[in-house]
Each structure stands twice: as structure tokens, then as C-alpha cells.
Structure 1
Amino acid sequence: MKIKYIITIIIIASIASICYGFYIKEEQLEIAHKYIGSGTVGIFLIGMPLFLLKESKGKKVKDYMLTEENIRKMQGKNLEKTDNQ
């Protein structure tokens, strides 16, 4: 099974858990909070890190950091060294 499908299943299950928690909130408040909390944990502590690992595989972090060199590239200027550098 591909990681893409596992991430999709985790996200859908988490959203369903949150929705079900809000649905039963009037009847069973403590159980509803557990469903809402577990859905939130599923999205942010399991689903999102897996997605970020999948999408960032093989990419260089340095290309996405905001350095002076990258700022100059975005502005379209050449990187010129001054005397005090």
C-alpha cells in the first residue's frame, strides 16, 4: 500500500472522528471530547508529519531557507560581494 493512501485514510478518519465528536456532543460530552481530540491528534501529529516527509523526500532544505543569496535571486539581482564581507 502506498504512503499516499495511508495518509489519505488517516486524514479522512481524523476528520470523521472530529465530525462524529461534534455530532454526539449534546448527548455524551466526555466521549465527544475524546473523539474530537483523537481526530486532532491524527491530523496534526500523524497525518501532517507523514505528508511532509513524503513531499520533502529528495529536496534540499537550503533551497527553501530565506538567506541573503536567495533573497537576491528572488529580486533578480546578482550577488555582489562588498568590501566588508
Structure 2
Amino acid sequence: MKYLIIFCFLASLGSIALGALLEVEYSEKLIGFGTVGLFMVAFPLFIYYRWKDKSLKDYMLNQENLDKMRKSQKKEKDQ
């Protein structure tokens, strides 16, 4: 998965760079496909890869997590 993300990212950047540097009639399409590849393929794959084993409850602000934060802040003050 990691290598697929890197490949998609580099292919998208390469397409954008080639579209900007080459003076051909389809250079705007290269830039457009590179941008679409970056934002519709590479970024969602990266986000999925980074969040797939995480629990969303750890990042939600509920009473239990607020109590944990207050407890840890109190410990830091006392030290």
C-alpha cells in the first residue's frame, strides 16, 4: 500500500511537471489529470493508510477523555 501511494504521488507530480514544462497541445490535460490523480487517488489512499488501525473514540472530546486530560494536566502542575 505504501508503495502504491508513493507511485500515485510521483506519477501525479510527474504529470503536472510534464504538463507545465512541455509545450504540446495536451499539456493542460496533463496538468488536470495530475491534479485529479493527486486529490482523488493519492490523498484518499494516504488518509486511509494512516487511519486504518486507529480508533476514532481516542480523538473524540467526551467526558472520559476530558477527565484524562485534566488528570494529566494536574500531574504536570504538581511536578
TM-score (norm 1): 0.69
User: Which residue of 2 is the match for residue 48 of structure 1?
Assistant: 43
User: Which residue of 2 is the match for residue 13 of structure 1?
Assistant: 11
Deviating beyond 3 angstroms after TM superposition, the runs of 4 or more aligned structure 1 residues are: 68-73
3-state SS of the aligned residue for 1:14? helix
Same amino acid, percent of matched pairs: 41
- Work out the number of aligned pairs and report it: 70
User: Which residue of 2 is the match for residue 77 of structure 1?
Assistant: 70
- Tell me which protein shows more helix as a share of its residues: 2
Instruction: State the alpha-carbon separation in 2 of the partners of residues 33 and 72 from structure 1.
Output: 54
Structure 1 residues 35 and 71, CA gap change in structure 2 (3 angstroms): farther
